[in-house]
Amino acid sequence: MKVAFFSTKSYDRQYFDQYNSQGFELTYYKVRLEEETAEFAKGYDAICTFVNDRLGADVLEKLAGYGIKVIALRCAGFNNVDLEKAKELGITLVRVPAYSPHAVAEHAVALILTLNRKTHKAYNRVRDNNFSLERLTGFDLNGKTVGVVGTGKIGAIFAQIMRGFGCKIVAYDVYQNPELLEQGVEYMEMQDLLTQSDIVSLHCPLLPSTYHIINKETIKMMKRGAMLINTSRGPLVNTKQVIKGLKSGHIGALGIDVYEMEEKLFFRDLSEKIVTDDVIARLLSFPNVLITSHQAFFTDEALTQIAKTTLKNLEDYNEGRELTNEVSF
């Protein structure tokens, strides 16, 4: 099987080559998949894509015209795919539903600790021989209320970690997690969670019902000075409204690993270029905002699981076996 990879980096090549025991012919392209680059798929049996590749109707039609019958998503989310068009064209989609929930949950905790104790600022100060503690005051996590929005695998692990700090955990989800209920986690309506929480962490998928779940109205419900964390999907947050919340002081701190307009920024080195996105430029101007570029998943364990699962998905398709990780239409 010949597979074309899009949006690839050096680490993709490293891990996929290491675990390619099936002997697939893998070709790595740095370009992002979109209408203009879809022609790179000519001559291949399958393609492999990542979170910011575009798989809209126009791209899928081109891929089908090139004979592509299966698309392997080396990620969990598939909100960048036109599912109806894929179904119409008879294209099979497979994904990696879980690769390291611990990695993402732990990164969310890292954002909280860094924002709270300002270790990034202290590090830079000390390197400049500035040993002052002025304006580095944080707060004890012990005893604080943490609101977890979405209690699937990642949200549940995050909740358990924060319980270890002595935090009170409250949660919101359409489906309540029995294990968290046994541990004493209290489920409540979103409004009540926002009103009570000192820290709000988002771990829900991007769906029509969760798009801009953090918006002008829900920000008003938040406890004044609360910290907001998002390691899930960028469009869960209305960024312009969050900026207003930061300016007013209603949001005390913001930590994000995802951004709703990230596809033109993240996974690229733009250090020698002018970033024309005024929204993220404004975010970067706040001293109480911490942004990482979609690296929450980025651990050895996660990259290993992504490679192994993606290659197994392609092998199962190639051998006509049941596809346990097929995206349901």
259 shares a domain with 120:
yes
The verdict on residue 272 lying in a domain is yes
Q: What is the DSSP string of 92-125?
A: EEE--S-S-HHHHHHHHHHHHHHHHHTHHHHHHH
91 shares a domain with 175:
no
The catalytic position among 294, 301, 315, 326 is: 294
260 shares a domain with 117:
yes
The verdict on residue 68 lying in a domain is yes
pLDDT at res. 52: 87
pLDDT at res. 76: 86
Calpha distance 122→130 (Å, rounded): 9
Calpha distance 2→45 (Å, rounded): 5
| 3-state SS assignment for residue 219 | helix
**CATH assignment of the domain containing 62:** 3.40.50.720
Calpha distance 307→13 (Å, rounded): 10
The verdict on residue 329 lying in a domain is no
Token pair, residue 178, equals: 């029995």
Is the Cα torsion angle 290, 293, 297, 302 positive or negative in sign? negative
Phi then psi for residue 169, to 5 deg, are: -110, 125
Token pair, residue 169, equals: 């955990």
pLDDT at res. 186: 97
The domain of 61 spans: 2-99+299-319
Calpha distance 7→32 (Å, rounded): 5
Calpha distance 266→295 (Å, rounded): 9
Give whole-number Cα distances, 202 to 29, 63, 72, 235, in Å: 32, 34, 26, 11
The catalytic position among 233, 272, 301, 321 is: 233
Give the number of domains in the chain. 2
233 is catalytic: yes
DSSP 40: G
Calpha distance 132→134 (Å, rounded): 6
Calpha distance 18→28 (Å, rounded): 14
The catalytic position among 262, 315, 319, 321 is: 262
52 shares a domain with 121:
no
148 shares a domain with 217:
yes
6 shares a domain with 66:
yes
Weakly modelled stretches of the chain, pLDDT under 70: none
The verdict on residue 201 lying in a domain is yes
Contact 24, 70 (CB under 8 A): no
262 is catalytic: yes
Q: In residues, how long is the chain?
A: 329
171 shares a domain with 94:
no
pLDDT at res. 236: 97
281 shares a domain with 217:
yes
Give whole-number Cα distances, 21 to 6, 26, 319, in Å: 21, 12, 15
DSSP 52: T
pLDDT at res. 98: 82
pLDDT at res. 166: 97
From the number of C-beta atoms within 10 Å of its C-beta (0-12, 13-18, 19+), residue 315 rates as middle
